[in-house]
Copies of this chain bind each other. A is one copy, B any other.
Amino acid sequence: MSVDGAAFDAWMRAHQALAERALEQVLPAAGHAPARLHEAMRYAASGGGKRVRPLLAFAAGELVQAPSERVALAGAAVELIHAYSLVHDDMPCMDDDTLRRGKPTVHVQYDEATALLVGDALQSLAFQVLSEPTPGADPARQLEMVRLLAQASGSRGMAGGQAIDLAAVGRTLDVTELEFMHVHKTGALIRCATLLGALCGRGLEEAERTHLDRFAKAIGLAFQVVDDLLDAEASTATLGKTAGKDAEANKPTYVTVLGLRAAKEWARDLRAQADEALAPLGPGAARLGQLADFIVKRPF
Protein backbone atom coordinates (compact mmCIF):
# COMPACT_ATOMS: atom_id res chain seq x y z
CA MET A 1 0.00 0.00 0.00
CA SER A 2 1.29 3.47 -0.85
CA VAL A 3 1.88 6.14 1.81
CA ASP A 4 -1.22 7.95 0.56
CA GLY A 5 -3.17 4.71 0.62
CA ALA A 6 -2.13 4.05 4.21
CA ALA A 7 -3.05 7.61 5.23
CA PHE A 8 -6.47 7.29 3.60
CA ASP A 9 -6.96 3.93 5.24
CA ALA A 10 -6.24 5.46 8.65
CA TRP A 11 -8.60 8.36 7.92
CA MET A 12 -11.29 5.94 6.85
CA ARG A 13 -11.00 3.76 9.94
CA ALA A 14 -11.00 6.80 12.22
CA HIS A 15 -14.09 8.23 10.55
CA GLN A 16 -15.91 4.91 10.43
CA ALA A 17 -15.34 4.82 14.19
CA LEU A 18 -16.75 8.36 14.51
CA ALA A 19 -19.79 7.27 12.49
CA GLU A 20 -20.31 4.22 14.72
CA ARG A 21 -19.99 6.35 17.83
CA ALA A 22 -22.54 8.87 16.53
CA LEU A 23 -25.01 6.05 15.80
CA GLU A 24 -24.34 4.60 19.23
CA GLN A 25 -25.10 7.99 20.73
CA VAL A 26 -28.37 8.64 18.89
CA LEU A 27 -29.89 5.14 19.03
CA PRO A 28 -32.11 4.65 22.10
CA ALA A 29 -30.56 2.44 24.80
CA ALA A 30 -31.46 -1.22 24.26
CA GLY A 31 -32.82 -1.47 27.81
CA HIS A 32 -35.21 1.45 27.44
CA ALA A 33 -38.89 0.52 26.90
CA PRO A 34 -40.02 -0.81 24.48
CA ALA A 35 -36.87 -2.86 24.96
CA ARG A 36 -37.35 -5.40 22.16
CA LEU A 37 -37.89 -2.66 19.57
CA HIS A 38 -34.87 -0.69 20.77
CA GLU A 39 -32.70 -3.79 20.81
CA ALA A 40 -33.81 -4.60 17.24
CA MET A 41 -33.13 -1.01 16.10
CA ARG A 42 -29.57 -1.35 17.41
CA TYR A 43 -29.26 -4.76 15.78
CA ALA A 44 -30.24 -3.18 12.45
CA ALA A 45 -28.17 -0.01 12.62
CA SER A 46 -25.07 -0.68 14.73
CA GLY A 47 -21.71 -2.13 13.88
CA GLY A 48 -21.94 -3.10 10.27
CA GLY A 49 -21.36 -1.92 6.76
CA LYS A 50 -18.65 0.35 5.43
CA ARG A 51 -20.55 3.51 6.39
CA VAL A 52 -20.00 4.91 2.91
CA ARG A 53 -22.66 7.59 3.36
CA PRO A 54 -21.22 9.00 6.61
CA LEU A 55 -17.73 8.83 5.04
CA LEU A 56 -18.97 10.94 2.12
CA ALA A 57 -20.41 13.42 4.61
CA PHE A 58 -17.07 13.62 6.46
CA ALA A 59 -15.10 14.04 3.24
CA ALA A 60 -17.47 16.75 2.00
CA GLY A 61 -17.28 18.38 5.43
CA GLU A 62 -13.49 18.68 5.02
CA LEU A 63 -14.09 20.80 1.93
CA VAL A 64 -15.75 23.46 4.09
CA GLN A 65 -13.97 23.01 7.45
CA ALA A 66 -17.12 21.61 9.07
CA PRO A 67 -16.87 20.58 12.73
CA SER A 68 -16.61 16.79 12.67
CA GLU A 69 -19.05 16.21 15.55
CA ARG A 70 -21.75 18.02 13.59
CA VAL A 71 -20.98 16.08 10.41
CA ALA A 72 -21.07 12.87 12.43
CA LEU A 73 -24.68 13.54 13.41
CA ALA A 74 -25.70 14.44 9.86
CA GLY A 75 -23.98 11.27 8.64
CA ALA A 76 -25.75 9.25 11.32
CA ALA A 77 -29.12 10.61 10.17
CA VAL A 78 -28.44 9.51 6.59
CA GLU A 79 -27.17 6.13 7.80
CA LEU A 80 -30.36 5.62 9.84
CA ILE A 81 -32.38 6.13 6.66
CA HIS A 82 -30.10 3.71 4.83
CA ALA A 83 -30.42 1.15 7.64
CA TYR A 84 -34.22 1.42 7.68
CA SER A 85 -34.34 0.89 3.91
CA LEU A 86 -32.25 -2.28 4.23
CA VAL A 87 -34.54 -3.67 6.94
CA HIS A 88 -37.66 -3.06 4.85
CA ASP A 89 -35.98 -4.24 1.63
CA ASP A 90 -35.04 -7.54 3.18
CA MET A 91 -38.61 -8.32 4.25
CA PRO A 92 -40.46 -11.23 2.62
CA CYS A 93 -42.78 -8.94 0.64
CA MET A 94 -39.75 -7.20 -0.92
CA ASP A 95 -36.45 -9.03 -1.55
CA ASP A 96 -37.08 -11.79 1.00
CA ASP A 97 -33.48 -11.94 2.08
CA THR A 98 -32.24 -13.81 5.14
CA LEU A 99 -28.66 -12.58 5.39
CA ARG A 100 -27.29 -9.03 5.67
CA ARG A 101 -23.77 -7.99 6.62
CA GLY A 102 -23.16 -11.62 7.59
CA LYS A 103 -26.01 -11.70 10.12
CA PRO A 104 -29.63 -12.87 9.91
CA THR A 105 -31.85 -10.06 8.65
CA VAL A 106 -34.07 -8.29 11.19
CA HIS A 107 -37.29 -10.13 10.32
CA VAL A 108 -35.41 -13.45 10.66
CA GLN A 109 -33.68 -12.54 13.93
CA TYR A 110 -36.87 -10.99 15.38
CA ASP A 111 -40.10 -11.17 13.38
CA GLU A 112 -41.75 -9.40 10.48
CA ALA A 113 -43.86 -7.02 12.55
CA THR A 114 -40.79 -5.95 14.52
CA ALA A 115 -38.82 -5.45 11.30
CA LEU A 116 -41.60 -3.23 9.97
CA LEU A 117 -41.57 -1.12 13.15
CA VAL A 118 -37.76 -1.01 13.31
CA GLY A 119 -37.66 0.51 9.85
CA ASP A 120 -40.42 2.98 10.66
CA ALA A 121 -38.78 4.07 13.91
CA LEU A 122 -35.30 4.37 12.37
CA GLN A 123 -36.75 6.74 9.80
CA SER A 124 -38.36 8.93 12.49
CA LEU A 125 -35.09 8.90 14.45
CA ALA A 126 -33.17 10.21 11.43
CA PHE A 127 -35.35 13.32 11.33
CA GLN A 128 -35.18 13.69 15.08
CA VAL A 129 -31.37 13.68 14.94
CA LEU A 130 -31.30 16.39 12.27
CA SER A 131 -33.75 18.59 14.16
CA GLU A 132 -32.13 18.55 17.60
CA PRO A 133 -31.13 22.05 18.71
CA THR A 134 -27.45 22.41 17.85
CA PRO A 135 -25.33 25.11 19.51
CA GLY A 136 -23.84 27.38 16.89
CA ALA A 137 -25.88 25.92 14.02
CA ASP A 138 -28.21 28.08 11.95
CA PRO A 139 -31.79 26.75 12.32
CA ALA A 140 -32.60 27.70 8.72
CA ARG A 141 -29.65 25.59 7.55
CA GLN A 142 -30.74 22.70 9.78
CA LEU A 143 -34.23 22.96 8.34
CA GLU A 144 -32.78 22.80 4.83
CA MET A 145 -30.93 19.62 5.82
CA VAL A 146 -34.19 18.07 7.09
CA ARG A 147 -35.86 18.94 3.81
CA LEU A 148 -33.03 17.52 1.70
CA LEU A 149 -33.09 14.26 3.64
CA ALA A 150 -36.88 14.01 3.41
CA GLN A 151 -36.78 14.56 -0.36
CA ALA A 152 -33.93 12.08 -0.82
CA SER A 153 -35.79 9.44 1.21
CA GLY A 154 -39.29 9.81 -0.15
CA SER A 155 -41.31 8.92 -3.21
CA ARG A 156 -39.16 11.06 -5.50
CA GLY A 157 -35.99 9.70 -3.97
CA MET A 158 -35.10 6.37 -2.40
CA ALA A 159 -38.61 4.98 -1.81
CA GLY A 160 -39.54 5.97 -5.36
CA GLY A 161 -36.47 4.11 -6.62
CA GLN A 162 -37.61 1.00 -4.76
CA ALA A 163 -41.00 1.29 -6.43
CA ILE A 164 -39.36 1.57 -9.86
CA ASP A 165 -37.21 -1.44 -8.95
CA LEU A 166 -40.31 -3.47 -8.03
CA ALA A 167 -41.96 -2.59 -11.31
CA ALA A 168 -38.82 -3.62 -13.22
CA VAL A 169 -38.66 -7.22 -12.02
CA GLY A 170 -38.97 -9.54 -14.99
CA ARG A 171 -38.95 -6.65 -17.48
CA THR A 172 -36.21 -5.73 -19.89
CA LEU A 173 -34.80 -2.29 -19.10
CA ASP A 174 -32.46 -0.26 -21.23
CA VAL A 175 -29.54 1.51 -19.63
CA THR A 176 -31.43 4.81 -19.38
CA GLU A 177 -34.26 3.22 -17.43
CA LEU A 178 -31.77 1.40 -15.22
CA GLU A 179 -30.01 4.67 -14.50
CA PHE A 180 -33.31 6.40 -13.70
CA MET A 181 -33.99 3.67 -11.14
CA HIS A 182 -30.60 3.89 -9.48
CA VAL A 183 -30.46 7.68 -9.46
CA HIS A 184 -33.47 7.37 -7.15
CA LYS A 185 -32.88 4.11 -5.31
CA THR A 186 -29.31 4.64 -4.12
CA GLY A 187 -28.16 7.85 -5.78
CA ALA A 188 -30.49 10.23 -3.95
CA LEU A 189 -29.26 9.26 -0.49
CA ILE A 190 -25.59 9.29 -1.52
CA ARG A 191 -25.97 12.78 -2.97
CA CYS A 192 -27.81 13.83 0.15
CA ALA A 193 -25.06 12.51 2.44
CA THR A 194 -22.45 14.46 0.52
CA LEU A 195 -24.46 17.67 0.53
CA LEU A 196 -25.40 17.41 4.22
CA GLY A 197 -21.72 17.03 5.13
CA ALA A 198 -20.93 20.20 3.21
CA LEU A 199 -23.87 22.05 4.79
CA CYS A 200 -22.29 21.52 8.22
CA GLY A 201 -19.55 24.00 7.38
CA ARG A 202 -19.32 27.45 5.77
CA GLY A 203 -21.96 28.16 3.15
CA LEU A 204 -21.27 26.65 -0.25
CA GLU A 205 -21.21 28.90 -3.28
CA GLU A 206 -23.71 27.99 -5.99
CA ALA A 207 -20.97 26.72 -8.33
CA GLU A 208 -19.33 24.65 -5.58
CA ARG A 209 -22.66 23.07 -4.78
CA THR A 210 -23.18 22.16 -8.43
CA HIS A 211 -19.72 20.56 -8.72
CA LEU A 212 -20.15 18.68 -5.47
CA ASP A 213 -23.55 17.37 -6.53
CA ARG A 214 -22.21 16.31 -9.93
CA PHE A 215 -19.45 14.42 -8.13
CA ALA A 216 -21.92 12.74 -5.80
CA LYS A 217 -24.25 11.79 -8.63
CA ALA A 218 -21.44 10.09 -10.55
CA ILE A 219 -20.18 8.32 -7.44
CA GLY A 220 -23.69 7.21 -6.51
CA LEU A 221 -24.09 5.54 -9.89
CA ALA A 222 -20.57 4.10 -9.79
CA PHE A 223 -21.37 2.64 -6.39
CA GLN A 224 -24.36 0.83 -7.88
CA VAL A 225 -22.50 -0.45 -10.90
CA VAL A 226 -19.81 -1.83 -8.58
CA ASP A 227 -22.51 -3.37 -6.39
CA ASP A 228 -23.97 -5.13 -9.41
CA LEU A 229 -20.50 -6.37 -10.38
CA LEU A 230 -19.95 -7.62 -6.84
CA ASP A 231 -23.32 -9.33 -6.79
CA ALA A 232 -22.57 -11.04 -10.07
CA GLU A 233 -19.03 -12.13 -9.20
CA ALA A 234 -18.50 -12.40 -5.47
CA SER A 235 -19.36 -15.33 -3.28
CA THR A 236 -21.88 -15.09 -0.44
CA ALA A 237 -19.09 -15.41 2.12
CA THR A 238 -17.10 -12.42 0.80
CA LEU A 239 -20.20 -10.29 0.39
CA GLY A 240 -21.83 -10.93 3.78
CA LYS A 241 -25.17 -11.06 2.03
CA THR A 242 -26.73 -13.56 -0.31
CA ALA A 243 -24.87 -13.29 -3.63
CA GLY A 244 -26.41 -13.74 -7.06
CA LYS A 245 -29.84 -12.69 -5.70
CA ASP A 246 -30.41 -10.14 -8.44
CA ALA A 247 -29.96 -12.57 -11.29
CA GLU A 248 -32.01 -15.16 -9.42
CA ALA A 249 -34.82 -12.64 -8.86
CA ASN A 250 -34.68 -11.76 -12.55
CA LYS A 251 -33.79 -8.18 -11.69
CA PRO A 252 -32.10 -6.05 -14.31
CA THR A 253 -28.58 -4.99 -13.26
CA TYR A 254 -25.75 -3.18 -15.02
CA VAL A 255 -24.20 -6.58 -15.59
CA THR A 256 -27.29 -8.09 -17.20
CA VAL A 257 -28.01 -4.95 -19.24
CA LEU A 258 -24.47 -4.00 -20.31
CA GLY A 259 -22.51 -7.21 -19.87
CA LEU A 260 -19.59 -7.67 -17.46
CA ARG A 261 -16.95 -5.94 -19.52
CA ALA A 262 -18.99 -2.85 -20.38
CA ALA A 263 -20.21 -2.58 -16.78
CA LYS A 264 -16.59 -2.42 -15.56
CA GLU A 265 -15.85 0.17 -18.21
CA TRP A 266 -18.88 2.18 -17.13
CA ALA A 267 -17.70 2.16 -13.50
CA ARG A 268 -14.35 3.59 -14.62
CA ASP A 269 -16.08 6.22 -16.78
CA LEU A 270 -18.18 7.34 -13.84
CA ARG A 271 -15.05 7.55 -11.71
CA ALA A 272 -13.54 9.87 -14.33
CA GLN A 273 -16.69 12.02 -14.35
CA ALA A 274 -16.43 12.29 -10.57
CA ASP A 275 -12.79 13.41 -10.86
CA GLU A 276 -13.72 16.06 -13.40
CA ALA A 277 -16.37 17.42 -11.07
CA LEU A 278 -13.89 17.59 -8.19
CA ALA A 279 -11.13 19.41 -10.11
CA PRO A 280 -12.58 22.93 -9.75
CA LEU A 281 -13.08 22.39 -6.01
CA GLY A 282 -9.33 22.50 -5.39
CA PRO A 283 -7.16 20.68 -2.87
CA GLY A 284 -9.88 20.68 -0.18
CA ALA A 285 -11.65 18.03 -2.23
CA ALA A 286 -8.73 15.57 -2.07
CA ARG A 287 -10.46 13.36 0.48
CA LEU A 288 -13.53 13.08 -1.71
CA GLY A 289 -11.29 11.86 -4.53
CA GLN A 290 -9.67 9.23 -2.31
CA LEU A 291 -13.06 8.09 -1.14
CA ALA A 292 -14.26 7.84 -4.73
CA ASP A 293 -11.31 5.57 -5.45
CA PHE A 294 -12.23 3.42 -2.49
CA ILE A 295 -15.85 3.17 -3.61
CA VAL A 296 -15.06 2.27 -7.20
CA LYS A 297 -12.06 0.06 -6.54
CA ARG A 298 -13.72 -2.33 -4.15
CA PRO A 299 -12.35 -5.74 -5.17
CA PHE A 300 -14.31 -7.52 -7.86
Contacts and interface: CB of A to CB of B under 8 A. Distances in A.
Interface of A: 28, 32-34, 36-38, 41, 84-85, 88, 91, 93-94, 111-117, 119-121, 123-125, 127-128, 130-133, 138-140, 142-144, 146-147, 149-151, 153-157, 159-160, 162-164, 166-167
Chain A contact residues: helix, strand, loop or mixed: helix
A269 to B, nearest CB: 26
Number of copies: 2
Contact of A117 (B125, B149, B151, B159): B159
Contacts of A111: 93
Given A37-B163, A128-B150, A93 B112 contact: yes
A167 to B, nearest CB: 7
Contact of A34 (B38, B151, B155): B155
A123 B123 contact: yes
B116 A143 contact: no
Contact of A159 (B37, B142, B154, B155): B37
Contacts of A125: 150, 154-155
